[in-house]
């Protein structure tokens, strides 16, 4: 079995985001990059399948050199090889799907695992688009996955319940929190990863269906105010503020 895992590098949630001078992209200065958390579930599932059934796991990222850290981490966790499809600038999920489809179409992958959405961009679109471009089955927002002989059975979260989806491999599956508990890299894994190389290929030329025209941070929140006096006075001041300023009553 051959498994491809799509991993996206995203800013660490603790990074203080700044909008770049062009007003439509992130300023990469001082950003700490991490693997998108949903992609960690996808990678963990691939490694578990490798351990359980035997599989070759290929980690892939589309982006600049900065994405290499995500791939090194995947190698340390147990991916057999890693590919960076290099291209500068931003594309929408459709562009990423085209780039990955162009790479994967003749490689014989039985399973392509993605996060259900990339943290920050939150489009939740790349996996379904990739499945369509490759003409294969898909199951999205998956919390449980079982593979049979050339088939898959997946449990997906839906509003107020769950749904079981079955289909034939090859398939694209997008991972949701709860699918598994991602492991940490072991020292042995980190040392073994140092010996593995990352294949670097140019991303296929693609078209974007949509482009970001503006990016803005939420408005600054006004500073908090400390109410003075004893508890009764504070309660009175709070009531007054809710009435006069917040106009809650």
Ligand X SMILES: Cc1cc2nc3c(=O)[nH]c(=O)nc-3n(C[C@H](O)[C@H](O)[C@H](O)COP(=O)(O)OP(=O)(O)OC[C@H]3O[C@@H](n4cnc5c(N)ncnc54)[C@H](O)[C@@H]3O)c2cc1C
Q: How far is the CB of 174 from ligand X (least distance, A)?
A: 7
Contact 111, 56 (CB under 8 A): no
> Between residues 87 and 170, which has the closer beta carbon with respect to ligand X?
87
Determine, following the binding rule CB under 6 A, whether residue 6 of this chain makes contact with ligand X: yes
Determine, following the binding rule CB under 6 A, whether residue 45 of this chain makes contact with ligand X: no
- Structure-token pair, residue 74: 């995947």
| Structure letter (DSSP) for residue 26 | B
| Structure letter (DSSP) for residue 66 | G
Determine, following the binding rule CB under 6 A, whether residue 124 of this chain makes contact with ligand X: yes
Strand partners, 142: 156, 175
The mark string for 55-94 relative to ligand X (x by CB under 6 A, - otherwise) is: ------xxxx----------------------x-xxxxx-
Q: How far is the CB of 222 from ligand X (least distance, A)?
A: 31
Determine, following the binding rule CB under 6 A, whether residue 122 of this chain makes contact with ligand X: yes
Q: How far is the CB of 210 from ligand X (least distance, A)?
A: 9
Residue-by-residue DSSP string for 82-144: EEEEE--S---HHHHHHHHHHHHTTTT-SEEEEESS-TTT----HHHHHHHHHT-EEEEEEEE
Contact 83, 199 (CB under 8 A): yes
Determine, following the binding rule CB under 6 A, whether residue 179 of this chain makes contact with ligand X: no
User: Which residues of this chain interact with ligand X, rule CB under 6 A?
Assistant: 6-9, 36, 38-39, 61-64, 87, 89-93, 95-96, 99, 114-115, 117-118, 121-127, 203
């Amino acid at each position: 079995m051959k498994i491809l895992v799509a991993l996206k590098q995203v800013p660490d949630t603790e990074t203080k985001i700044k909008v770049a001078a062009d007003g439509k992209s992130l300023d990469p200065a001082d950003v700490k990059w991490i693997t998108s958390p949903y992609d960690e579930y996808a990678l963990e599932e691939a490694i578990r399948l490798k351990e359980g059934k035997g599989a070759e796991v290929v980690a892939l990222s589309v982006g600049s050199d900065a994405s290499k850290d995500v791939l090194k981490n995947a190698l340390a966790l147990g991916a057999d090889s890693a590919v960076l499809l290099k291209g500068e600038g931003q594309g929408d999920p459709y562009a990423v799907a085209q780039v990955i489809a162009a790479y994967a179409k003749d490689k014989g992958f039985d399973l392509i695992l993605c996060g259900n959405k990339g943290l920050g961009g939150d489009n939740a679109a790349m996996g379904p688009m990739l499945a369509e471009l490759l003409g294969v089955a898909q199951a999205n927002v998956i919390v449980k996955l079982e593979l049979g002989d050339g088939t898959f059975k997946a449990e997906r979260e839906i509003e107020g319940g769950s749904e079981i989806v079955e289909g034939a491999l090859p398939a694209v599956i997008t991972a949701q929190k709860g699918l598994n508990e991602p492991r940490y890299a072991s020292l042995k894994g980190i040392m073994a990863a140092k010996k593995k190389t990352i294949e670097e290929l140019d991303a296929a030329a693609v078209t974007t269906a949509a482009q970001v025209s503006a990016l803005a941070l939420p408005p600054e929140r006004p500073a908090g105010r400390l109410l003075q006096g004893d508890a009764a006075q504070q309660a009175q001041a709070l009531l007054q503020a809710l009435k006069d300023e917040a106009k809650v009553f």
